A = this chain, B = another copy of it.
Amino acid sequence: MTDPKPLKIRAARAGDFAEIWAIFHAVVAAGDTYAYAPETTMTEARRIWMEPPTAPYVAERGGRIVGTYALRPNQPGLGDHVANCGYMTHPDARGQGVGAAMCAHSLQAAGERGYTAMQFNFVVASNEGAVQLWQRFGFAIVGRIPAAFRHRALGPVDVLIMHRSLT
């Protein structure tokens, strides 16, 4: 059943980090979607997700943070017109459209910040739900790296690079 309470997406504040960390840790510890080491510490997670040039956002429902995304330049300097974004949904809130809502929000936020494209560097090919979701949002697969991810359950898995223009 989809939770009837509305989803609100907003820029994250420092005080949100405890809830963000709970999501980050749950997602990363599973070892099936992100390269970050399953044993990544809270301090490292804060640096990865909360420090400039990364701009963190949260998705709230009923006063509880159910998802988070981090928007940043994919490259410095002469490549910083292309955004990168990572999304994480709390395991308890999956299948409720949180990822899709965050993706839509991030495309708008990236455009407002002046980015002209968005690139995902590390979409684990076995994460088919994510690949299909990004394709629905207009992302194309522009690269494939063989066996670049050591999936905890599946072993070596290919990684996709996905890209979408924002103009």
Which A residues are within 8 Å of any B CB, using their own CB? 28, 31, 34-38, 40, 74-82, 116-117, 119, 121-122, 142-152, 159, 161, 163, 165
Contacts and interface: CB of A to CB of B under 8 A. Distances in A.
Given A117-B147, A143-B144, A148-B117, A31 B163 contact: no
Contacts of A80: 35
A87 B159 CA distance: 24
A31 B79 CA distance: 11
Q: Copy number of this protein in the oligomer? A: 2
A78 B148 CA distance: 8
Contacts of A151: 78
A25 to B, nearest CB: 13
